[in-house]
Amino acid sequence: MLNLVTVAFAQVQQAAPAAQSAAQPGGGSMWTSFFIPIIAMIVIFYFLLIRPSQKKEKDRKKMLEAVQKGDKVITVGGIYGTVVNVKPEENIIVLKIGDGTKVDFAKSAIQSKVS
């Protein structure tokens, strides 16, 4: 029994240096095979997730800057109204949501313009 263990141990030690030299012939293949998929995932995430959301936010900011008196808008809460007044220094928009009903909203609460 002891003889089988020493034979197995000797075979493992002889195979280990051969496996190490075969795994790294150029010395850096492990690093290359590790970093290329990670870099590819970062690029994919950028083009599929980050870039479109940045573009959408940029377009939303441009729309908020262009809001003026008389525009029909919808708020984030789902309220439709007509812009009565814009207070750019306070970032407040006054909306008329019914007959004689005017409500102040934060400029950031406007979701989109309604055609």
The strand pairing partners of 82, in sequence order, are: 72, 96
CA-to-CA distance for 60 and 55, rounded, in angstroms? Answer: 9
Mean pLDDT on 81-104? 94
Report whether CATH 3.40.50.300 matches the domain 68-115: no
More confident residue, 25 or 79: 79
Contact 102, 84 (CB under 8 A): yes
Question: What's the pTM?
Answer: 0.61
Tens of pLDDT, residue by residue over 47-85, are 999 999 999 999 999 999 999 999 999 999 999 999 999
